[in-house]
Amino acid sequence: MTGKVGMDEGARFFVFDGIRKLAPKLDYVSAAQVLKSAGAK
């Protein structure tokens, strides 16, 4: 599985770390721009 996953900076580290361990081939990027565009923050 390949692709990008946007992670919110407010996500707890253990959540990010668990996802990263389950899917190490994914590219993890900040979701800030997506959330800003959606009006979430």
Domain boundaries along the sequence of the chain:
4-38
pLDDT of residue 27: 95
Report yes or no: 4 and 29 within 8 Å, Cβ to Cβ: yes
DSSP class per residue in 12-37: -HHHHHHHHHH-TTSEEEE-HHHHHH
Q: Which residue has the higher pLDDT, 23 or 33?
A: 23
Report yes or no: 29 and 5 within 8 Å, Cβ to Cβ: yes
Q: Is 6 helix (H, G, I), strand (E, B) or coil?
A: strand
Give the tokens for residue 5. Answer: 């996953």
Q: How confident is the model at residue 41 (pLDDT cuts 50, 70, 90)?
A: low
pLDDT tens figures, 6-24? 999 899 999 999 999 999 9
